[in-house]
Amino acid sequence: MTRPVVTRFAPSPTGFLHIGGGRTALFNWLYARRFGGKMLLRIEDTDRERSTEPAIKAILDGLSWLGITWDGEVVYQFARAARHREVAEKLLAEGKAYHCYATPQELEEMREKARAEGRPMRYDGRWRDRDPSEAPAGVKPVIRLKAPLDGETVVNDHVQGRVVWQNKDLDDLVLLRSDGNPTYMLAVVVDDHDMDVTHVIRGDDHLTNAARQTQIYQACGWEVPEMAHIPLIHGPDGAKLSKRHGALGVDAYRALGYLPVALRNYLVRLGWSHGDQEFFTTEEMIAAFDLDSIGRSPARFDFAKLEHLNGHYMRSSSDSDLVDAIETILPEVGPPRGGPATLDAGMRAKFMAAMPGLKERAKTLIELLDSAYYLYASRPLTLEPKAEALLAEGGRVRVADLLPALEALAEWSTEAVEAAVRRFAEDRTLKLGQVAQPLRAALTGRATSPGLFDVMAVLGRDECIARLRDQAARVGA
């Protein structure tokens, strides 16, 4: 009776996978998983002009990076053009569609006139009931759906509720172009039907299409799938997402240092909620996801919240997973920031050792990489202004003063180093911070860093002493 759930993600390969598409894919994926169904992937490449191979690759890579998988082979819509044509011809034969010979110029005039008269811009049906014998010679016709003239078309949407259109407001859409290729409207309906799609979950920019597609389903005598039109994601300023704020490809989020698990969690809460729960494991998301809890109003993209989630997931990631994640983006993000493009065994070991302190204070992998500067920096260190200030204000003198005690240390461990520094501070009746800050500046080139003694232990005795001597040597200079 009830068919197994089949959802689909159907991007057109005219660009990268943007954040809204990523969320749509996520929702489809979650819904299918929730009900033990399948999520299919269909590339809507019927626009031969704008569809590109790199875009297809970007979409597939984007989904994979996000951790979204699809079932079965990828369906390429253009390859199914013959079947779409067949359906259009069938509709034509059944009298549910007709040839229209109106030229582009005529259609343009129609729109102009309608606009001028304040009427809705729609095809006037001039070829709807004309006899085929009136067809002008040499003009290739399109096939239009003979849509109902009166009554109403209803879409019972899981998100938007019951949405009604008066059929008089809907015109006879083109099913088959004059060149014999199907339009998107026809192709979607035929493919969703043939692929046994039970639930269409997509952006609400398709809501009006849903009405027209419903008419095609009805003309074909097919069951209309369940629909869920989810609100679009807006930029931080409330306007439509543009390249300047959120409409980046998901690959951009990877380069920005976000973790897929964090992006997924952020995205799932954009438009969907489950009581007050903010954090979801993948399993929890799947178990809790449902269409009826999706909100109807558009959401704005907020990087601050994404960062918070990302920080949360970084802190709870294992050190090795984090180092792996850094290594994968390093070739792309390392060199431009003065960092390495790869980690050799020694450097990897240092990252591993420093990771507990590093991941605790970074919100993105980029921040983490930046705060790990002291690990891969070569002497003499470049001091950021705040670090320079710490050393200039008596800091170098203090470093020089402390140096002998450190050089005399028999054992170089977090504990031993800390004890030595604390003893030094006590002897001079200084607060620990008065000693620690100049030390930090000399050792890391920064005014902030992970715990100082951990830093010293990871860096090792020789490197620490050398960096401190670099600064001590500049006393009075």
Partner RNA sequence: GCUCCCAUCGUCUAGCGGUCUAGGACGUCGCCCUCUCACGGCGAAAACAGGGGUUCGAGUCCCCUUGGGAGCGCCA
Which positions are catalytic?
243
Residue nearer to RNA on the CB measure, 162 or 476: 162
Q: Strand, helix or coil at 35?
A: coil
Q: What gap in Å lies between CA 65 and CA 73, rounded to an integer?
A: 18
For 279-327, the DSSP string reads ---HHHHHHH--GGGB-SS-EE--HHHHHHHHHHHHHTS-HHHHHHHHH
Q: How far is the CB of 131 from RNA (least distance, A)?
A: 19
Residue nearer to RNA on the CB measure, 335 or 433: 433
Residue positions counted in the chain = 477
For 8-27, the DSSP string reads EE---SSS--BHHHHHHHHH
Asked if 19 contacts 60 with a C-beta cutoff of 8 angstroms, the reply is: no
Q: How far is the CB of 317 from RNA (least distance, A)?
A: 14
Those residues with Cβ within 8 angstroms of residue 181's Cβ, 6 or more apart along the chain or in another chain: 46, 81, 85
Residue nearer to RNA on the CB measure, 3 or 113: 113
Q: What gap in Å lies between CA 166 and CA 390, rounded to an integer?
A: 73
142 phi and psi angles, rounded to 5 deg: -100, 165
Residue nearer to RNA on the CB measure, 205 or 332: 205
Q: What distance lies between CA 446 and its chain's CA centroid? A: 33
162 phi and psi angles, rounded to 5 deg: -85, 115
Asked if 470 contacts 388 with a C-beta cutoff of 8 angstroms, the reply is: no
Q: How far is the CB of 259 from RNA (least distance, A)?
A: 15
Q: How far is the CB of 438 from RNA (least distance, A)?
A: 10
For 112-179, the DSSP string reads HHHHHTT-------TTTT--GGGPPTTPPPEEEE---SSSEEEEEETTTEEEEEEGGGS---EEE-TT
Q: How far is the CB of 136 from RNA (least distance, A)?
A: 11
> Is residue 168 part of an annotated ligand binding site?
no
Residue nearer to RNA on the CB measure, 137 or 345: 137
Q: How far is the CB of 446 from RNA (least distance, A)?
A: 8
Residue nearer to RNA on the CB measure, 116 or 477: 116
H-helix or E-strand spanning residue 100: strand 97-100
248-284 in b/e form (b: 16+ CB < 10 A) is: bbbebbbebbbbbbbbbbbbbbbbbebeeeeebeeee
Q: Which residues are annotated as a binding site for ATP?
A: 243
